[in-house]
Structure 1
Amino acid sequence: MKKKPYVVPIGPIHPALKEPVQFLFEMEGEVVKKADFAPGQTHRGIEWMGMRRNPVQIVHLTDRICGICGVTHSLSFARAVEQIVDIEVPARADYIRVIIAELERIQSHLLWAGVAAHELGFDTLFYLAWRVREDSLDVIENITGNRINYGLVQIGGVRRDITPEQHPVIHKCLDGYRDLLGKMLNLFLHDTTISIRCKDTGKLSFEEALHLCTVGPTARASGVVKDVRVDYPYAAYGDLDITPILPSAYGGEINGDVYDRIVVRLLEIEQSIGIIETCLKEMPEGGIIWEPKLPKLLAACKKAHGEAIGRHEAPRGECTHYVAMDGNEAPAMWKVKASSYSNLHSWIPMLEGEQLADVPIIVASIDPCLSCTDRVAVVRGNSSDLLTKEDLHRLSVEKTRRIQGC
């Protein structure tokens, strides 16, 4: 007689989950045979609020989409508006944007490293990662005035300059990380327990990563060479020599497992250090904002017509903001697609066939952020129809035409 699988629900609130999300696992013994998940527990209506505000007010709102990746969303939104209004950002502001973005990448990857260590039961390493993360937050505070929700990006540039007096503070932090990186690599990649728990665990093949449209370290850990900073250079990234980090950069084969995701993120910290040092060295003189007077900036935005997409390679991968403007104070449409939105479906092939005890580290390995991913679902009546890929494409085309007034 065939054994009937039993279902194990985890979440939406669970000690192993840092944000609310519900999982359902069909188990045979300790092995996950089928996995499913249901986000949607933290929808906050930010897009709805934004479409009732002007673009300058929305920049302030975008900083609060994610508590870790503040500049990610403000930069993506600002870039979309700048394309519509035809704003040329000063070169110096572009370099400052890159510096803050890479500092954010460092602190985000260190936060993730601590969470990963905690999920593996290695709390000593968790405390180390979060302690040294404080150095990058201190530098960000020194530049912007805030550790979180920096408020640095403005449409047309940045609100604060980086002065020569701040360079030694930044260099001291980067030198400390460069000295520390060898220790972090050794602890994460050469520890026997971590290797046993992470190698060949939660594997995502190249084909699966490509088919599921994964982004960021999740995609690169599976061998997909994808990086917005390289593929579609923006800000000062076009002036920099950046190569997407793959696990092979550490000298090993690409397996697309949890271990490879650790490799990619740690090596990206080293890459970010080099990018920041280059930007500090080559940053040009000049202004930092296209139009410092907000009434003039708002007037230019109000006259604008058109649509654009702003992209940024966030710590978790590509983040996009779609903005449409029709000559009114508020945008006609604003749609956010956070990095995690592209990566969540990779959980299914990663989890199926794995041990239940490995679920926490596999879930954490894509560095999910549910607060900037969640969407609201509207149910009318008792309809239970399922939308196919063709249905979604048709509805998307119809909505785009409505927005464009076709």
Structure 2
Amino acid sequence: MPYKLPLGPLHPAFEEPYKLTLSCKGEIVEDAQVEVGFVMRSIELLAQRRNYIRDLVLVEHVCGICSNVHASTMAMAVEKIGGITVPDRARYIRTIMGELERLHSHLLWAGIGAEDIGYHSMFMEIYFLRERVMDILEAISGNRVNYGMISLGGVTRDITDPKSILAMAEEIKKGLEKVVIPIFTQDKTIIARTKGIGTLSKDDALMYGTVGPLARASGIEEDIRESFPYAAYDDLGFKKVVLDSCDVQARVVVRALEMMESIRLIEEALKNLPSGPIRPEQVPLTIPDGEATARSEAPRGEVFYYVKSNGTDTPARVKIRTPSFVNIPSIRAMVKGQYLADMPLIQASIDPCCSCTDR
């Protein structure tokens, strides 16, 4: 007899609170209803009551894992309205911070995925590398979570010793090449637990409007770093990772290979870091009338910001669309016909972020 089973909003396998109501027949899931909105914080409304400088700090708190990309994307929108030019050195530093944040996010996700599979030793190896990424972020910004690196027109801190950062990046690269990539792409246990599980066809991925690694694992060749280049991506070149097997294994491999590309981008940016200032000498406190949008490739996919100015130091409107907002609903397509026991792994494979979704 068919029955309904609630998972969440609080569940050991979920990073944050959201709820799946599964319609099951025996051990097979026939459908799912997804509910979000358990941690709404009204950040968009708050942003319209603070000045632009304070807003850059505020939007960093949309997500603790991808805080930098929110501040940099909002800054890009405001810079368009104000006609503010970002110096070359600042563009490169923004790129370095963005890719370090991607590394941190992907490693955090990989560790949780290894734990969901039951691969505890792999969890420890991955979190050791994650700590090293956080050490680099701390060395550059002074912070390990919210970095406070973005200012209008540039960045707040310079990279004064690129060689030491390069040495730390090389250590992470060796760990990825020797441990993470081989195990995630070749280990029989990982393959058995992920291959053919939670399939999201390309048609379904397009219908739900999925973005980021989730979309690229379903054959969608879209990455904002290539489609709408920003920061220093045009200068450094970029190789996106796209697979078409559409299952959990594809999502694992896409993120694993993206980490190697992030390391390459960080190394190239550090080796070719331009000289010059890290921000303009003067940045206006008030922004002229206008409106603009900005897009960035966050670790989970496209982040979209709309900012409208009314000529004061406070925005008239701020609208944020995060990747998890469009990715989470696609769980419904993934779970149909799957075993109930695979639900924690399938939902984890999209790397859902309710902090972003319920901003």
Q: How many angstroms apart in 1 are the aligned matches of 2:89 and 2:226?
A: 20
For residue 308 of structure 1, give the secondary structure of its aligned residue in structure 2.
Answer: strand
Give the structure 1 partner of residue 313 of structure 2: 329
Q: How many angstroms apart in 2 are the aligned matches of 1:116 and 1:34?
A: 23
For residue 76 of structure 1, give the secondary structure of its aligned residue in structure 2.
Answer: helix
* TM-score scaled by length of structure 1: 0.86
Q: Does 1:68 align with 2:102?
A: no
Q: Report the Cα offset of residue 328 of structure 1.
A: 2.5
Q: How many angstroms apart in 1 are the aligned matches of 2:325 and 2:52?
A: 24
Give the structure 2 partner of residue 171 of structure 1: 166
Q: Is contact 1:156-1:291 (8 Å) kept?
A: no
Query: In structure 1, which of residues 13, 18, 21 is the aligned counterpart of residue 15 of structure 2?
Result: 18
Stretches of structure 1 that go unaligned for 5 or more consecutive residues are 248-253, 376-406
Q: Report the Cα offset of residue 323 of structure 1.
A: 0.4
Query: In structure 1, which of residues 333, 341, 345 is the aligned counterpart of residue 325 of structure 2?
Result: 341
Q: Does 1:370 align with 2:354?
A: yes
Q: Report the Cα offset of residue 200 of structure 1.
A: 0.4
Q: Percent same amino acid at aligned positions?
A: 45
Q: How many angstroms apart in 2 are the aligned matches of 1:152 and 1:178?
A: 24
Equivalenced residue count is 358
Runs of 4+ in 1 over 4 A off after TM superposition: none
Q: Does 1:269 align with 2:256?
A: no
Query: In structure 2, which of residues 329, 339, 357 is the aligned counterpart of residue 355 of structure 1?
Result: 339
Q: Does 1:298 align with 2:285?
A: yes
Greater relative contact order (Cα 8 A, min sep 6): structure 1 or 2?
A: 2
Q: Is contact 2:162-2:271 (8 Å) kept?
A: no
Query: In structure 2, which of residues 30, 33, 42 is the aligned counterpart of residue 33 of structure 1?
Result: 30
For residue 312 of structure 1, give the secondary structure of its aligned residue in structure 2.
Answer: strand
Give the structure 2 partner of residue 203 of structure 1: 199
For residue 18 of structure 1, give the secondary structure of its aligned residue in structure 2.
Answer: coil
Q: Is contact 1:317-1:339 (8 Å) kept?
A: yes
Query: In structure 2, which of residues 232, 239, 249 is the aligned counterpart of residue 259 of structure 1?
Result: 249
Q: Report the Cα offset of residue 207 of structure 1.
A: 1.3
Q: Report the Cα offset of residue 184 of structure 1.
A: 1.0
Q: Alignment RMSD, CA only?
A: 1.1
Q: Is contact 1:35-1:348 (8 Å) kept?
A: yes
Stretches of structure 2 that go unaligned for 5 or more consecutive residues are none
Matches within 5 A, 1:5-404: 5-163=2-160, 166-182=161-177, 183-247=179-243, 254-292=244-282, 297-299=284-286, 301=287, 304-374=288-358
* TM-score scaled by length of structure 2: 0.97
Q: How many angstroms apart in 1 are the aligned matches of 2:20 and 2:326?
A: 18
Q: Report the Cα offset of residue 169 of structure 1.
A: 2.3
Q: Is contact 1:21-1:37 (8 Å) kept?
A: yes
Q: Report the Cα offset of residue 48 of structure 1.
A: 1.4
Distance 1:47 1:220, change over 3 A: same
Q: How many angstroms apart in 2 are the aligned matches of 1:59 and 1:371?
A: 17
For residue 246 of structure 2, give the secondary structure of its aligned residue in structure 1.
Answer: coil
